[in-house]
Chains A and B, each alone.
Chain A
């Protein structure tokens, strides 16, 4: 892609747009990634993916049109802008039929003006680009071999691989924004399948980082094997209500779902469970949550959001109280609230709202001490099927889980074939304690281990 051609084409498009009283934005995202996988010590996959896509957003008389293309040539960009404009016109005509039905929805908003962006050099670590293909292949190899070497009961590594990706985001708009940033990172993962007798268990471990030396592929591989081996001999437990310690990475997945309710779009459209509940103490007073786009360990750190609005930190829950919503320019205008710069979209999608890095404040307890806080504790370190087992409209969840039974702080036996159920918000209201650690594998959601009382578990017997 020739940036000069794109820039001059966009300048021409802005000229066309101005004549028709149109506001226009061009978001371009590119990605170069390398990934490799080994199977039985032989290289199985060697992937090199290069892609770039450009997406227009056009505001015209209160309507928004979108169009995207992977042909980043002048003629194609111009044609794509015209399609986005046609889409905005089309939606405007459609709205005419329902005039007066939805005045709040139709409240006009404008594209974001240029702002001052913080320099975030840590987003792109040039050292990562100095490592050779051979070094990367060696990492991919270790991710399989070191898992297999742990124990003869590790029958195969179902999935493993190394990935190195570079991405860049460039936004231009008719208000004068012309800003871009680059990111890079590496990741490794391993899923070990272990077998003993008739019982098979599969567990995984992964890590994302911007620093080569922090990936530790041997540790990832070995952890995946140990996690699966620990579950051999697992059995179910009787259905009942238990005190549960959710391991930090499991707690993070569960907690990430709650943040859906903080989207101003969901609040405004009354599809959030938190609509009308701002400033209410709905969560445990132990809980403080911040969205932090500047968090140096976070994979979603960025100087500006998908509209080009300068990033800012936002406290969403302060000591259990619902403190603010995540907003973009559209919903900030509709709800007459501050734009928190959480616009989220890819060039192929519509403008929405999403968190950047979510950080729950750590608690005072060591992990081991939390396991002693009740006579019987169910430690959950794996939950599967979040996409199906959670109903965001109601907040109810019911998820296949596994972990360990602890009595008086001592591990008794591994647990399988149980379903943990509850309500997302109520679960985080009934917190008994938070640990002082985040998961090594955390990349954009940082949550400590969480002890919750009164959790419903379906089991056998």
Chain B
């Protein structure tokens, strides 16, 4: 997008008042949304996001300026504004010659969103609507939604880093509403990947729809979940949100550097049950949370966070590295050029163990089987987290019993990690969006089924 000459000039202007680091991040993003309502096409939005940010470091002090003007004059003006915001000194250095970041492209992309046939996509969404309505006469509304994004980025910094990447994202979301005798329920399914819409062809549409309809129908007859502490089995896939919320955010240097994490100063210390190994991996081909290089231009990597219960690494970005001295982990991420990057999770999961789901459930006299989790949140400083269960069942005498609704789980991160007593063997990842200080980004969470010996279930008393 921008020439090396322009980038060099802008970086030098950024360094002109004494900054010790300057960075340019430019972005040109195409996005497309297509959705149905009542079986008819409802929404078609196409757009372009186009801009750049200049980030300077004076030590660990950050100056961050954005502009929509990507001309050399516009970028130079923004860099000057950034340089003059704090600095009044003389330049300590000039930008180093560029040494381009190179990587093998492991993510396979097909046609760009604007190249592929929209009629096919529309037909696909209409088939989801039809399958849903054919599943049950109680289906009153079907809302399929297809999001596509093609993000071109370019990053250059005064240390000589120069990188560019093109990332294509596709996400399919389905909400099915059912109604019986005035009572409403809904079932939601979604899939997402770092890739283009050709992957829709590999999706088992019927199974995808059936899951959403089946959840909604079952919830129509569900009683409220019980309240109180009890054992909980969290199934694989989106169950991984427990690690994401309970621990993952606390391992980002965004929190650690401030001393605002319960995991501060615990490297090489035991923070979880010895059965727990947790990984944050940006290198999984075409996975929703993957990258090639991060938003600071570093190659992404696979980072072992916890190994057999021992804390091995934090997630570290450039600023976090400056503040803590830890080595960057290729985890710097941002929603767009409008928000500065911070250390964030990518594809985060707990490594598989040895037990079957039946073995985990068979150990419990009375508890909850959380088949499908919803979202959640955490206060990294206190470790207190919460998340909702979308589809939950009672466990009675070692067997899955009736479905229950309205349950959420709350607890404290390290305490809950210590209560993961058994880890199942079937690992599965699920796509989601994570919102934090650098905006909303695609992540996957994952785990095999887990048995937590005790956790507070927020049902009805």
Which A residues are within 8 Å of any B CB, using their own CB?
39, 42-52, 55, 63, 65-72, 76, 80, 83-84, 87-88, 90-91, 93-95, 97-98, 101-102, 105-106, 133, 155-159, 191, 193, 200-202, 236, 239-241, 269-271, 273, 348-350, 384-385, 387-389, 391, 393-394, 396, 398-400, 416-421, 456-460
Contacts and interface: CB of A to CB of B under 8 A. Distances in A.
B185 A393 contact: yes
Given A46-B86, A106-B40, A70 B48 contact: yes
Contact of B38 (A70, A105, A236, A389): A105
A456 B255 CA distance: 34
A451 B42 CA distance: 42
Given A42-B60, A70-B51, A273 B184 contact: yes
Contacts of B255: 158
A400 B384 contact: yes
B377 A384 contact: yes
Nearest to B62: A45
Contacts of B86: 43, 46
Max chain A C-beta neighbours (<10 A), residue from B65, B67, B375, B458: B458
A393 B140 CA distance: 12
B163 to A, nearest CB: 23
A239 B460 CA distance: 9
A237 B38 CA distance: 46
Contact of B68 (A55, A70, A191): A70
A15 B230 CA distance: 68
A460 B229 contact: yes
B460 A456 contact: yes
A388 B382 contact: no
Given A47-B64, A50-B66, A419 B381 contact: no
A417 B227 CA distance: 12
Interface in B38-53: 38-51
Given A43-B61, A456-B227, A388 B456 contact: no
6 contacts: A49-B338, A66-B43, A133-B85, A271-B141, A399-B458, A458-B227
Contacts of A417: 384, 410-411, 456
B228 A200 contact: no
B224 to A, nearest CB: 8
A241 B461 contact: yes
Contact of A90 (B118, B408, B459): B118
Nearest to B411: A417
Given A67-B47, A70-B49, A396-B406, A458 B457 contact: yes
Contacts of A84: 46
Contacts of B236: none
B122 interface: yes
B155 interface: no
B122 A388 contact: no
A193 B330 CA distance: 28
Contact of A200 (B50, B61, B262, B458): B262
B340 interface: yes
B38 A269 contact: yes
Contacts of B184: 271, 273, 393-394
A381 to B, nearest CB: 15
B59 to A, nearest CB: 8
B324 to A, nearest CB: 13
Interface string B418-461: 00000000000000000001000000000000000000111111
A109 to B, nearest CB: 14
A335 B411 CA distance: 46
A95 B379 contact: no
B289 to A, nearest CB: 19
Interface residues of B, number: 77
A102 B81 contact: no
B123 to A, nearest CB: 9
A44 B55 CA distance: 12
Given A202-B381, A385-B408, A417-B411, 9 more contacts: A66-B43, A66-B45, A76-B48, A83-B46, A95-B41, A156-B258, A350-B45, A398-B407, A421-B224
A436 B408 CA distance: 33
Contact of A419 (B44, B51, B179, B227): B227
Interface string B306-323: 000000000000000000
A460 B141 CA distance: 39
Interface of B: 37-51, 60-68, 81-82, 85-86, 118-119, 122, 126, 140-141, 177, 179, 183-186, 224, 227-229, 255, 258-260, 262, 338, 340, 374-377, 379-384, 386-388, 405-408, 410-411, 437, 456-461
Given A45-B340, A458-B456, A39 B63 contact: no
A264 to B, nearest CB: 14
Given A50-B68, A105-B40, A400-B458, A419 B61 contact: no
B377 A456 contact: no
Contacts of A90: 41, 44, 118, 122
B41 A388 contact: no
Given A42-B61, A83-B46, A400-B386, A158 B67 contact: no
Contacts of A239: 227-228, 461
Contacts of A419: 227, 386, 408, 410, 456-459
A385 B258 CA distance: 23
Nearest to B70: A71
Contacts of A399: 386, 408, 458
Contacts of B41: 63, 90-91, 94-95
A398 B458 contact: yes
Given A39-B258, A393-B186, A101 B40 contact: yes
A69 B50 contact: yes
B40 A44 contact: no
A45 B458 CA distance: 38
B419 to A, nearest CB: 14
A269 B63 contact: no
A190 to B, nearest CB: 12
A79 B81 CA distance: 31
A74 to B, nearest CB: 15
Contact of B48 (A68, A236, A400, A459): A68
Of residues A70, A76, A270, A387, which shows the largest number of chain B Cβ atoms within 10 Å of its Cβ? A70
Nearest to A420: B458
A458 B460 CA distance: 7
Contacts of A66: 43-46
Given A67-B47, A106-B40, A44 B61 contact: yes
A458 B67 contact: no
A389 B51 CA distance: 36
Nearest to B389: A398
B459 A87 contact: no
B141 A270 contact: yes
B338 A51 contact: yes
Nearest to A1: B68
Contacts of B383: 200
B260 A158 contact: yes
Contacts of B39: 98, 101-102
Contacts of A460: 228-229, 456
A259 B44 CA distance: 27
Contacts of A391: 186, 388, 406
Nearest to B262: A200
A95 B410 contact: no
Nearest to A351: B43
Contacts of B49: 70
Contact of B45 (A68, A202, A420): A68
Nearest to B336: A51
A448 B227 CA distance: 29
B47 to A, nearest CB: 4
A382 to B, nearest CB: 10
A94 B36 CA distance: 10
Contacts of B43: 66, 350
